[in-house]
């Protein structure tokens, strides 16, 4: 299997090198064809044209149409020279993800069969697909930054700037939708049990996508700032334009002298009243005597002596007594519960007793106090009762046992 792979690799190398050499040999004519939108056939020999067409560099869209660069070649040139008018960012994430799934399956099949050379080749192709996916987003973000730094500065009117901003916002929305298609739960499942796949599909890709999210956030902030600025400029421009049109229609218009009028229109009478501020100059020794006189002249507040019953200590004492009384009432109800168990002689549920007696205690506090009193009993008395806890797990993934109810009965019964 290895000799076949080396032969295939050498053939690909020879074909690729030959076609790259064709691009370099006819670079001026091809670049001129990119700028003109069509290729001048007279600049090439017949043999050169055949080679360029066979190499999938040139093609004829129609029999009546002249030769032109293939779309992928034009897109490559546009990407290299940063020609935003022609560069089209293809962020088809769904197609890339499908290719990644197929490569992962082919890699696992080759490993299962023990064909490690093919598995290594599939892993290399998978790495290229992952890097292409991340590179497409990076190219699209660079395109957005280029639009922010160039297109907005060279358009002729504010309306065109706003339209460019809307186009950039739509492209940003498409990129965010593409990032949302990446489901890392699926990628983790694809890479399960293989450290190479986990590092490639989860660790590296997650770091790259996190960086792309941060870049898109900065682009979005910049777009919003520019749109607010353009809207403000547009409002001012409309105000000036309308005022100029009004003056053209009324050439003898003279603004009124509003400061000299006794009654101002409400539109101009918007200034708030001025409130003078003053402060004591503590750093001036000459004003200390005046400051001392002012302080002595201040009326002294009447001190109200609170009775002892309304003091803070008494309030704390009342609170403590209320808490102690509530605790004692709870203990009394629990004792009555145990007495009820003894009188009945059979099994009794704590929550059923709470509902029958219509007690106001919280169910959790009630159960806790019953357990506390049971644990506080002497050993001889504790052996008189049989306690049973109705427990259930907190959830399917959490095995913590929660006590839902307590049932107590006499052992003699």
Written as one string, the DSSP assignment of 328-383 is HHHHHHHHHHHHHHHHH-S-EEHHHHHHHTT--S-HHHHHHHHHHHHHHS-HHHHT
| Total Cβ atoms within 10 A of residue 175 | 24
Residue 380 near residue 408 (C-beta atoms within 8 A): no
Where are the domains positioned within the chain? 1-88, 89-251, 316-410
Residue 37 region by backbone torsions, left for phi larger than 0, else alpha for psi between -120 and 50, else beta: left
From first to last of its 413 residues, the chain has per-residue pLDDT tens of: 344 456 656 777 888 888 888 888 888 888 888 777 778 888 888 888 888 888 888 877 666 667 777 767 777 777 677 655 545 444 467 777 888 888 888 888 888 888 888 888 888 888 878 887 777 787 778 878 877 777 665 666 778 878 888 888 888 888 888 888 888 888 888 887 788 888 888 888 888 888 888 888 888 888 888 888 888 888 888 889 898 999 899 888 887 776 676 676 676 667 777 787 777 777 777 777 787 888 888 887 776 555 554 555 656 666 677 788 888 888 888 888 888 888 777 788 888 888 888 888 888 888 888 888 888 888 888 888 888 888 888 777 777 777 888 888 887 54
Query: What pTM, to 2 d.p., does this model score?
Result: 0.43
Give the per-residue pLDDT at 64. 66
**What is residue 181's predicted lDDT score, i.e. its pLDDT?**
82
Residue 327 in contact with residue 384, Cβ under 8 Å?
Answer: no
| Distance from C-alpha of 177 to C-alpha of 169, rounded to nearest angstrom | 12
Q: Which residue has the tokens 């029999």?
A: 63
Burial class (CB in 10 A: 0-12, 13-18, 19+), 323: exposed
Report the SS3 class of residue 89: coil
Chain-centroid distance, C-alpha 79? 29
DSSP annotation of 310 reads G
Q: What is the CATH number of domain 89-251?
A: 1.20.58
């Amino acid at each position: 299997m290895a000799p076949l792979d080396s032969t295939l690799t050498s053939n690909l190398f020879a074909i690729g090198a030959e076609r790259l050499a064709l691009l370099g040999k006819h670079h001026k004519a091809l670049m001129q064809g990119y700028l003109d939108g069509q290729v001048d056939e007279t600049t090439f020999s017949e043999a050169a044209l055949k080679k360029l067409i066979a190499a999938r560099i040139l093609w004829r869209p129609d029999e009546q149409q002249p030769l032109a660069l293939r779309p992928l070649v034009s897109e490559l040139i546009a990407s290299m020279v940063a020609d935003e008018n022609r560069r089209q960012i293809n962020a088809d994430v769904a197609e890339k993800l499908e290719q990644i799934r197929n490569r992962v399956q082919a890699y696992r099949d080759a490993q299962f069969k023990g064909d490690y050379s093919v598995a290594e080749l599939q892993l290399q192709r998978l790495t290229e697909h992952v890097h292409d996916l991340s590179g497409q987003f990076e190219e699209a973000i660079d395109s957005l930054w280029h639009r922010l730094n160039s297109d907005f500065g060279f358009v002729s009117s504010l309306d065109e700037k706003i339209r460019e901003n809307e186009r950039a916002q739509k492209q940003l929305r498409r990129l965010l939708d593409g990032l949302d298609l990446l489901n890392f739960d699926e990628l983790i499942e694809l890479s399960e049990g293989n450290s190479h796949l986990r590092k490639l599909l989860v660790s590296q890709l997650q770091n790259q996508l996190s960086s792309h999210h941060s870049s898109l956030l900065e682009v979005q902030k910049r777009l919003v700032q520019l749109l607010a600025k353009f809207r403000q400029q547009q409002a001012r421009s409309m105000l000036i334009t309308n005022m100029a049109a009004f003056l053209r229609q009324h050439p003898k218009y003279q603004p009124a002298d509003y400061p000299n009028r006794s009654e101002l229109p409400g539109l101009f009478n918007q200034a708030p009243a001025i409130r003078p501020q003053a402060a004591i100059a503590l750093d001036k020794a000459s004003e200390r005597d005046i400051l001392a006189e002012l302080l002595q002249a201040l009326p002294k507040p009447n001190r109200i002596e609170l009775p002892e019953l309304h003091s803070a200590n008494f309030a704390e004492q009342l609170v403590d007594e209320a808490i102690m009384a509530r605790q004692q009432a709870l203990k009394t109800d629990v004792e009555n519960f145990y007495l009820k168990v003894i009188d009945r002689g059979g099994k009794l549920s704590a929550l059923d007793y709470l509902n029958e007696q219509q007690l106001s205690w919280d169910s959790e506090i009630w159960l806790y106090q019953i357990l506390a009193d049971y644990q506080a009993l002497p050993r001889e008395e504790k052996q008189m009762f049989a306690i049973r806890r109705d427990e259930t797990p907190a959830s399917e993934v959490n095995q913590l046992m929660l006590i839902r109810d307590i049932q107590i009965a006499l052992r003699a019964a």
